Amino acid sequence: MFSSNLVHMDGGYGNPTFNDIIDLDIQIDDAVVIVGKSFDHHYCSIHTEGLMYWNYHVRRFRPVGFTAWLTITDWASAKERHGNVGRQTAINFIEVQPCLEP
């Protein structure tokens, strides 16, 4: 999954900067998240009008049953409802794929 902040501090639309890193709370209920295979990575891509910073979120997990429940918020955590205040969080390309381990 990718995320980014779409608004600069002055309120105008434009390319996010390195200071616009988004911290998301990603929870997967009814699953075991594999910590060593899950990560967040912040990177810069070259855009036609300048640089654009993105956040890449990977969660590898094993469901406990037939289904699992995914919750994504831009809060600090489920218990701490603050963080990313004044930002417009964009979330894109949420994908779930099977991963076969040897």
What's the pLDDT at 46? 67
pLDDT tens-place string over residues 34-92: 999 999 888 877 665 666 677 889 999 999 999 999 999 887 666 776 666 667 788 88
First-to-last alpha carbon distance for the chain, in angstroms, is 25
| CA–CA distances in Å: residue 8 to residues 22, 62, 77, 93, 98 | 13, 37, 23, 22, 37
Residue at 102 is within a domain: no
48 torsion bin: left (phi>0), alpha (psi -120 to 50), beta (else): alpha
Number of domains in the chain: 1
**Would you say residue 22 has pLDDT above 70?**
yes
- Domain range spanning residue 51? 2-92
Residue at 65 is within a domain: yes
Tokens at 66, concatenated: 């037939």
Mean local confidence (pLDDT), 2-30: 69
Q: Where do we find the tokens 């899950």?
A: 38
Give every CB contact of residue 95 below 8 A, 6+ residues apart in sequence.
Answer: 1
Cα dihedral sign for 24, 29, 34, 35?
A: positive
Residue at 88 is within a domain: yes
Comparison of pLDDT for 73 and 16, the residue scoring more: 73
